């Protein structure tokens, strides 16, 4: 992973390891990559960022921004605002904040740094540092590094390579055609997109898959298309690019988007990966199912489309042939008069895995009530959809108790949220729910 | 050079100076243990964990581990030359278990390999033949099994039962208070550097002397042969007080046998699974009170889940007892503390050290009394404050300082508490999905180690010929700004700019026999030891200057100069002159806190030098559909005495409050029925992020001076503000309470997760009908 390369090979030890699984942000670095004609700047978690995904990009770590003689304005502001105590988290915060400046983000400082944990400070100095400097231009020395990187990123033609090492092979096609044929030749290979799931299998599970096929460089899988009927997201489009498009039609999903992982995770992770991995607690599928999304699957030259709710068959089992892959996710555009409610229930507001995700949509065609965390797969509550009785949720689901929530809680919350959607005028929902 | 050196030499004491390492933190230059370049030939170790249940180990097959790529050696309990003990107080815990394990995934062996990756991979290849042993995990199980890691403590004053029988009203309750993972961002780590001249170990520890001692027992070496060093930790919070030694011992065992440097950095999951946490408690309480809310009598039964060994549990539980009264006088009282053994990882020190758990229960009780009497809970709290009706704590110490009442009054006004409470209660009447709650709770926290002999510290002060000053002391830097505060004290003594004073890494060969940097005592003890060293050197310099200038005037050290009589010279000139005159320019200093002592047998004495105080108003919002909750505003007013560095102190208060908020709301440790920790990484164990910080957070230092003669009349600040967060828990209960009808108060346990809040919302609604 990128972090090991920085710390061991480059002896660039400013960037820290706090968790080795994408959750603490101590390893954050700034990634610069091509997005259309622009350069997209994002913080990423180096601990789960595969080196193979770095072609045609530039990485900047804390050592690059400034030095003790000439601190970067963000660094100076963190000093002035007393934003560090033990200092272990600090380089990661600085990277997230510099990325926020470069990416000209519009959301709050809190959202920009929600993927970075600090156990010492209460975040106040860090928030003030970013708010005060978010529009400050980059210092000349760092600007020069950025300019140099930008020009070669623009000129570079990433992907289209293979690596064969002692523990395995990596295939990095740059066209859909090559991907399709590689997939046919190597149906046993593991597809890797942003690696925010796959990375953990390696860093925590210590898996060494012998064959990897990357989708990162496949141009066609990076397309975001809008027609009158659909948004079409290529399977390798990171969340950071899915969000803004989707929110045009569905502003109710802003919380869903901003609470999905962190800025870092959204910069790497893809909607395609989130769906493809078949997790019952992914945040993408329930919303997509509620919106009536479908998947475009490809096998060689053959394409087929499946409704998303039919794609999830059972725990760990999807309607995806061995040599098939997800090409795109098609999301219907908003209907006139459509009502939408998306609620994520988790222990912490940000960057937490869902206990229950509820996504409800009502259009002239009908009601779609989708849930994650309630069953072995993301699923529609079909009984309730027919009866419009929130209490019928018990007939649809028999959720598990696990470390995130008990079965009783999951059912209770699901019922409360359903009631709020189905009977929006009830004055005090929780009081009635108890009766 | 830091940017703290300004041209004018202002008195550094009391100034909001930046952390001495801030410039290094933001540029990534600050070196933590893992950032030190490994010496050539350095090996990397990993722990081999046992079965996922407490087990009798019938056979252990490590062949595959030994044969794995890169593996140099594997060590088990049999390879320990000295004592196989990881217990710091009681020797009841093996470093490496052998024939049986007491909790799930207890370490059984250590692998040393050429790379860390190889060591981690190899460590998973062990095969065990194991029989499952019964696991006592839940309160019901540990109470039924009734095994104690340390004897029960009872502190009694008056006749609680008789007074309860007479009381006008009685209250009985039970609260469960969860534990807490430290989640220091830098995990446990040590680098062992063996050499024929002795062993040097860089350890991320709050207690270098104890690591040195434990290594001595492990290897049968004397302390003089071992040097333990720590420049800085990436956070500790108590988690590196006793248990940093385990990592250091495993690394050193491998270094001892291989003769090569060995680094052991625990992977986060291994760290969380094998190191102790804040103790979780179950408290059963009874109080007797009258119509005014005044409490006359009480009994508190504190059941602590200590884990499989004693570790620091006795002292932690003692402190819980000392704080189960928080700020309130209870004339007839009986507090009982049981220290139960459980088949889980051994719980340990954590910021507040039992104090927070003690306080949560009495604060719940105050709220309940108020609810039943239809009063504002603040009035019940005020009615019972020490000083109103009495000032002797159940353990016999007089609570002299009268800080809390004026402090609370000040906060009540500045936070507009009464008005906001009225508005919230009115708004809740017609609330839809979201309800609010507000609470003001105080903190009174005793400062000193309750183990009296720990209240000492040493320092070493060197003045070099060029006048630069090096101060070294036994305290460790974990981000709390201790090095800076002590440097401020020393710079002030010699009237020199702060950047003339350097503090070097804490090392057992410079200052020996140190106490842990814990109990918030770092500055009180080490600052005072540094002061003592300054005093010694200043006395020598005074004598020298008086002889040189033939005067008996006293010198003045100020603005980088020394004035004596009509003479003056620069401070640096004086240093050189003193050296020429063969004056020793190095001195040690020692400090022992005066007048404290406590007898565990009688339960009486003066365990604390003084108390630190504070109070907080927190306002919360809950989502009645899901139980999700957040703090919207908090106002904190805290007593740090006369601050040595307000920026550092404000930072401690803010960080402590947020950490306390996490403990009482979202941070939940989940164990399965075999005692295996399921929340073993930050993916499943959630500490607050920036978005959890209250939208409005006002923090003010209360204007006060410590009546005790501490350094600069300051007060300890590391732990006390942690408990300001109890106001969050109380406010959450307040938000729920209105649903239950008059007199109702929910049995909200901690942590108040969304699930727990929803449970209480449902219970309140059910109570109302
Ligand atoms: C810190 C952290 C926080 C997270 N928070 C959230 C959260 O809040 N909500 C949430 O839902 N998820 C969360 N996740 C999970 C993860 O980010 C998502 O599941 C992500 O969308 C996966 O996308 P990826 O591109 O990283 O997939 P990868 O890890 O690259 O792949 C995931 C799986 O999908 C398969 N795959 C990928 N692309 C294709 C394709 N085109 N065709 C077929 N198979 C494919 C891979 O083979 C693999 O099995 C979090 C992860 C981390 C590390
Ligand atoms: S080390 Fe924690 S996110 Fe990478
Ligand atoms: S300063 Fe210690 S974790 Fe942030």
Q: What is the pLDDT of residue B431?
A: 86
Q: How far is the CA of B246 from the centre of ligand 3 (A)?
A: 23
Q: What is the pTM of this model?
A: 0.97
Q: How far is the CA of B251 from the centre of ligand 2 (A)?
A: 24
Distance in angstroms (rounded) separating the CA atoms of residues A260 and A82: 29
Mention every residue, 6+ apart, whose C-beta is less than 8 A from residue A81.
A124, A125, A126, A128, A129, A132
Q: How far is the CA of A78 from the centre of ligand 3 (A)?
A: 12
Q: What is the pLDDT of residue B9?
A: 59
In 3D space, the residue among B359, B351, B233, B182 whose CA is nearest the CA of residue B728 turns out to be B359
Q: What is the pLDDT of residue B6?
A: 38
CATH architecture of B280-450+600-768: 2-Layer Sandwich (3.30)
A18 pocket-lining for ligand 2 (C-beta < 6 Å) = yes
Q: What is the pLDDT of residue A430?
A: 45
Q: What is the pLDDT of residue A426?
A: 61
Across B560-586, b (16+ Cβ under 10 Å) vs e yields: ebbbbeeeebebbebbebbbeeebebe
Identify from B2, B28, B632 which residue to disrupt to test chain A contact, counting A C-beta atoms within 10 A and taking the largest count: B28
Q: What is the pLDDT of residue A167?
A: 87
Distance in angstroms (rounded) separating the CA atoms of residues B479 and B482: 8
- How confident is chain B (769 residues) per 10-residue block, as mean pLDDT? 45 92 97 97 98 97 98 98 96 96 98 98 98 96 97 96 97 98 98 96 98 98 98 98 98 98 98 98 98 98 98 97 98 98 98 97 98 98 97 97 97 98 96 96 96 93 96 96 96 94 95 92 94 97 96 94 93 96 97 91 94 98 97 98 96 98 98 97 97 97 95 95 98 97 96 98 94
Q: Closest chain A residue to B623 measured between Cα atoms?
A: A430
Distance in angstroms (rounded) separating the CA atoms of residues B434 and B627: 10
CATH code given to domain B33-133+188-233+240-274 = 3.90.1170.50
Query: Quick check: A425 pLDDT over 90?
Result: no
A19 pocket-lining for ligand 2 (C-beta < 6 Å) = yes
From atom 3 of ligand 2, which residue's Cα is the shortest distance away?
A22
CATH code given to domain A224-382 = 3.30.465.10
ipTM score above 0.90 = yes
Chain A within 8 Å of B739 (Cβ-Cβ)?
A: yes
Query: What's B677's DSSP letter?
Result: B
Q: Which of A18, A89, A96, A269 to mutate to test the pocket of ligand 2 (most atoms within 8 A of CB)?
A: A18
Identify from A80, A105, A348 which residue to disrupt to test chain B contact, counting B C-beta atoms within 10 A and taking the largest count: A348
Residues of chain B with CATH 3.90.1170.50: 33-133+188-233+240-274
Distance in angstroms (rounded) separating the CA atoms of residues A384 and B45: 55
A89 pocket-lining for ligand 3 (C-beta < 6 Å) = yes
Q: What is the pLDDT of residue B226?
A: 98
Rounded to 10°, the helix B726-737/B646-664 angle is 40
From atom 3 of ligand 3, which residue's Cα is the shortest distance away?
A118
Q: What is the pLDDT of residue A433?
A: 39
Is A71 close to B23, i.e. CB distance below 8 A?
Answer: yes
For residues A294-316, give the mean pLDDT: 96
- Chain B environment of A94 (Cβ under 8 Å): 26, 28
Q: What is the pLDDT of residue A432?
A: 41
Query: What's B589's DSSP letter?
Result: E
**CATH 3.40.50.720 matches B2-30+456-592:** no
**Residue listed under structure tokens 């932690």:** B316
Report which bound ligand comes closest to the CA of A28.
2
Q: What is the pLDDT of residue B649?
A: 97
H or E element in which residue B720 lies: none
Phi–psi pair at A359, nearest 5 degrees: -135, 115
A154 pocket-lining for ligand 3 (C-beta < 6 Å) = no
- Chain A environment of B769 (Cβ under 8 Å): 434-435
CATH architecture of A2-155: Roll (3.10)
pLDDT, tens digit, for every residue of A348-399? Answer: 988 899 999 999 999 998 999 999 999 999 999 999 999 999 999 999 999 9
Query: Quick check: A434 pLDDT over 60?
Result: no
CATH code given to domain A161-220 = 3.30.43.10
Work out the burial of residue A155: count CB atoms within 10 Å of its CB; fewer than 13 is exposed, 13-18 middle, 19 or more buried. Answer: exposed
Distance in angstroms (rounded) separating the CA atoms of residues A176 and A300: 9
Q: In chain A, pLDDT over 70 holds for what percent of residues? A: 98
Q: What is the pLDDT of residue B769?
A: 78
Domain layout of chain A by residue ranges: 2-155, 161-220, 224-382
Shortest distance, CA A259 to any CA of chain B (angstroms): 10
The answer to whether the Cα torsion of B423, B428, B432, B437 is positive or negative is positive
């Amino acid at each position: 992973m990128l972090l090991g390369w920085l710390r061991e090979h480059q002896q660039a030890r400013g960037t820290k390891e706090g968790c080795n699984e994408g959750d603490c942000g101590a390893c954050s670095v700034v990634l610069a990559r091509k997005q259309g004609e622009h350069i997209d700047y994002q913080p990423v978690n180096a601990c789960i960022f595969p080196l193979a995904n770095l072609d045609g990009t530039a990485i900047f770590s804390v050592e690059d921004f400034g030095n003790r003689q000439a601190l970067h304005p963000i660094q100076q502001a963190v000093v002035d605002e007393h934003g560090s105590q033990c200092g272990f988290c600090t380089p990661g915060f600085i990277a997230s904040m510099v990325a926020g400046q470069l990416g000209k983000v519009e959301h709050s400082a809190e959202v920009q740094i929600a993927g970075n944990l600090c156990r010492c400070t209460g975040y106040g100095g860090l928030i003030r540092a970013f708010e005060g400097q978010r529009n400050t231009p980059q210092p000349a020395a760092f600007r020069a590094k950025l300019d140099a990187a930008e020009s070669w990123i623009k000129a570079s033609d990433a992907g289209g390579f293979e690596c064969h090492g002692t523990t395995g092979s990596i295939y990095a096609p740059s066209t859909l055609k090559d991907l399709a044929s590689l997939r046919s030749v190597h149906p046993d290979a593991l597809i890797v997109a942003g690696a925010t799931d796959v990375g953990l299998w390696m860093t925590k599970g210590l898996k060494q898959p012998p064959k990897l096929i990357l989708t990162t460089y496949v141009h066609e899988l990076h397309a975001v298309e809008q027609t009158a009927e659909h948004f079409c997201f290529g399977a390798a489009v990171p969340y950071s690019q899915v969000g803004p498009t989707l929110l045009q039609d569905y502003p109710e999903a802003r919380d869903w988007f901003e609470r999905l992982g962190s800025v870092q995770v959204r910069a790497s992770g893809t909607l395609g990966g989130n769906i493809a991995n078949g997790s019952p607690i992914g945040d993408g599928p329930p919303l997509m199912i509620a919106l009536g999304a479908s998947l475009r699957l490809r096998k060689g030259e053959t394409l087929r489309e499946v409704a998303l709710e039919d794609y999830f068959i059972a725990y760990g089992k999807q309607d995806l042939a061995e040599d098939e892959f997800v090409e795109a996710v098609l999301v219907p555009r908003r209907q006139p008069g459509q009502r939408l409610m998306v609620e994520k229930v988790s222990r912490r507001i940000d960057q937490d895995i869902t206990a229950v995700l509820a996504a409800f949509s009502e259009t002239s065609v009908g009601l779609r009530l989708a849930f994650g965390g309630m069953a072995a797969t993301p699923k529609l509550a079909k009984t309730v959809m027919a009866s419009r009785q929130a209490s019928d949720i018990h007939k649809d689901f028999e959720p598990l108790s696990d470390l995130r929530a008990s079965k009783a809680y999951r059912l209770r919350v699901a019922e409360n949220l359903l009631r709020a959607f189905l009977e929006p005028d009830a004055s005090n929902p929780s009081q009635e729910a108890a009766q | 050079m830091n940017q703290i050196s300004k041209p004018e030499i202002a008195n550094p004491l009391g100034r909001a100076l930046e952390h001495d390492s801030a410039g290094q933190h933001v540029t990534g230059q600050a070196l933590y243990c893992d950032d030190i370049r490994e010496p050539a030939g350095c090996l990397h170790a990993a722990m081999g964990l046992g079965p996922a249940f407490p087990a009798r180990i019938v056979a252990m097959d490590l062949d595959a581990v030994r044969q794995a790529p890169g593996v140099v050696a594997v060590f088990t309990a049999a390879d320990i030359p000295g004592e196989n003990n990881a217990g710091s107080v009681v020797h009841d815990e093996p470093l490496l278990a052998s024939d049986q394990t007491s909790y799930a995934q207890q370490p059984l062996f250590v692998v040393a390999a050429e790379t860390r990756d190889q060591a981690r991979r190899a460590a998973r290849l062990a095969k065990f033949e194991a029989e499952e042993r019964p696991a006592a995990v839940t309160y019901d199980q540990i109470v039924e099994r009734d095994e104690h890691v340390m004897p029960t403590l009872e502190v009694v004053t008056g006749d609680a039962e008789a007074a309860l029988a007479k009381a006008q009203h009685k209250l009985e309750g039970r609260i469960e208070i969860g534990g807490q993972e430290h989640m220091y961002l830098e995990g446990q780590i040590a680098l062992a550097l063996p050499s024929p001249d002795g062993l040097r170990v860089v350890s991320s520890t709050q207690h270098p002397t104890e690591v040195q001692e434990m290594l001595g027992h492990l290897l049968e070496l004397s302390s003089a042969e071992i040097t333990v060093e720590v420049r800085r930790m990436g956070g500790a919070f108590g988690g590196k007080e006793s248990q940093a030694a385990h990592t250091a011992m495993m690394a050193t065992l491998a270094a001892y046998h291989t003769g090569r440097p060995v680094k052991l950095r625990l992977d986060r999951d291994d760290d969380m699974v094998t190191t102790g946490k804040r103790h979780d408690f179950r408290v059963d309480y009874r109080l007797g009170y009258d119509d005014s809310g005044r409490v006359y009598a009480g009994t508190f039964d504190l059941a602590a889940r200590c884990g499989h060994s004693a570790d620091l549990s006795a002292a932690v539980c003692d402190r819980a007892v000392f704080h189960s009264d928080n700020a309130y006088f209870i004339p007839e009282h009986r507090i009982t503390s049981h220290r139960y053994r459980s088949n889980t990882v051994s719980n340990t020190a954590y910021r507040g050290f039992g104090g927070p758990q003690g306080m949560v229960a009495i604060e719940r009780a105050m709220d309940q009394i108020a609810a039943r009497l239809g009063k504002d809970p603040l009035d019940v709290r005020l009615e019972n404050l020490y000083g109103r009706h009495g000032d002797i704590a159940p353990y016999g110490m007089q609570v002299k300082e009268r800080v809390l009442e004026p402090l609370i009054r000040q906060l009540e006004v500045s936070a507009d508490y009464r008005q906001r409470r009225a508005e919230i209660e009115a708004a809740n009447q017609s609330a839809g999905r979201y309800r609010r709650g507000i609470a003001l709770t105080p903190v009174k926290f005793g400062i000193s180690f309750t183990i009296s002999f720990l209240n000492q510290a040493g320092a070493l002060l060197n003045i070099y010929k060029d006048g630069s000053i090096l101060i070294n002391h036994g305290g460790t830097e974990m981000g709390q700004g201790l090095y800076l505060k002590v440097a401020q004290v020393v710079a002030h003594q010699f009237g020199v700019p702060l950047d003339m004073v350097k503090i070097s890494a804490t090392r057992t060969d410079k200052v020996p026999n140190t106490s842990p940097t814990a109990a918030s005592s770092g500055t009180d003890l080490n600052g005072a030891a540094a002061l003592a060293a300054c005093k010694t050197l200043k006395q020598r310099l005074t004598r020298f200057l008086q002889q040189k200038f033939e005067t008996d005037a006293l010198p003045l050290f100020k603005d980088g100069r020394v004035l004596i009589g009509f003479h003056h010279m620069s401070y640096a000139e004086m240093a050189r002159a003193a050296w020429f005159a063969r004056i020793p320019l190095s001195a040690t200093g020692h400090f022992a806190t005066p007048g404290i002592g406590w007898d565990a047998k009688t339960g009486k004495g003066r365990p604390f030098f003084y108390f630190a105080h504070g109070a907080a108003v927190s306002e919360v919002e809950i989502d009645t559909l899901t139980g999700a909750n957040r703090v919207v505003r908090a106002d904190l007013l805290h007593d740090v005495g006369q601050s040595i560095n307000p920026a550092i102190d404000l930072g401690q208060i803010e960080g402590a409050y947020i950490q306390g908020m996490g403990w009482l709301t979202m941070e939940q440790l989940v164990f399965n029925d075999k005692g295996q920790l399921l929340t073993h990484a930050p993916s499943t164990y959630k500490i607050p992020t920036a978005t959890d910080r209250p939208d409005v957070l006002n923090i003010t230092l209360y204007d006060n001076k410590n009546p005790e003669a501490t350094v600069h009349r300051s007060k300890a600040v590391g732990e006390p503000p942690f408990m300001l967060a109890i106001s969050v828990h109380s406010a959450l209960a307040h938000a729920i309470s209105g649903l239950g009808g008059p007199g109702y108060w929910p049995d909200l346990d901690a942590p108040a997760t969304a699930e727990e809040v929803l449970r209480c919302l449902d219970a309140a609604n059910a109570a109302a009908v």
